[in-house]
Structure 1
């Protein structure tokens, strides 16, 4: 079995390392945004009814609704690409990858909401969990299949080039004239 050439193997490693670094940086920013105490004169009650917060945002007007819904979708959306990138798998079931990423996004969003219960000024909102998970899912569907395919083609090209460099073309196998078989 032929091993990957140095370029193909290191490309996957570079993607995995870059994904891990970007993932840690993004999670640090998310933690700062969502878990810092806010100095507010009053705090609304926790929203545990699905879509109640979204309906309230829509009632405030289209500009407010679009801004708040986009913020909910965009907060954890980069995880849709960064989690598979940090995993570094090139050949994986697309559905399995999507389900793993969605689950991780939902659990991370739930963890953030649970941590917010102890932070002054922050309120638990079930709609945030739904919007964050949807954002992760949409980002994954938009980016990961194309990026994986591109990287897979690049690694295959590097692999073919490495095989051509390592195995020079050979002529016919010499035979022994008296016996008529190859050594």
Structure 2
């Protein structure tokens, strides 16, 4: 007898959740190490609390340096856009709701990092990094999660048994017998 609500891909979903959780923890440990380690610098810049002031300053340095700095801020928390839904492990959810939850979690994590940086020597608070980190989470989520969820839905639909197989067992088939002469 089959358990109520169990699916054919339960073990695969569990593996995806466990892998997502482990990768999420590993990424968060890296982010904490990278952003909260003390820096030994001869002077400390003042905090940037004006939105887009740091981005404008980066753009003034030239396109290569601006791409490196802005890309680094976009990419720092971008894996969260994929890892958070992966750790959640749901295939059939509202795409907009998933995006909102993931971006909100990324923004709160980025805000927490910025607040913790106030106590770390050499690290400064920058509102632009909060904006760019959150945008990176949103872009990664929009680029990957809908396509992967669609692929997983198609895959589980093919693997799921038909209704006649699950409620009463397999439907018997009768081979055709030809008329002999």
The residue number in structure 2 matching 1:177 is none
After TM superposition, the score normalised by the length of structure 1 is: 0.87
The residue number in structure 1 matching 2:122 is 121
Describe the shift of the 1:168–1:121 C-alpha distance in structure 2 as closer, same or farther (beyond 3 A). Answer: same
In structure 1, the gaps of 5 or more residues are 173-183
| 2:111 counterpart of 1:110 | yes
| 8 Å Cα contact 2:38-2:120 kept in structure 1 | yes
Residue 156 of structure 1 deviates from its aligned partner by 1.9
* CA RMSD of superposed structures (Å): 2.0
Task: Count residues in correspondence.
Answer: 170
The residue number in structure 2 matching 1:4 is 7
Q: What does residue range 1-183 of structure 1 map to in structure 2 within 5 Å? A: 3-5=6-8, 8-160=9-161, 164=165, 167-170=169-172
Deviates more, 1:156-165 or 1:100-109: 156-165
In structure 2, the gaps of 5 or more residues are 175-181
Distance 1:163 1:133 in 2: 47
Distance 1:132 1:106 in 2: 7
| 8 Å Cα contact 1:105-1:133 kept in structure 2 | yes
After TM superposition, the score normalised by the length of structure 2 is: 0.88
Describe the shift of the 1:71–1:163 C-alpha distance in structure 2 as closer, same or farther (beyond 3 A). Answer: farther
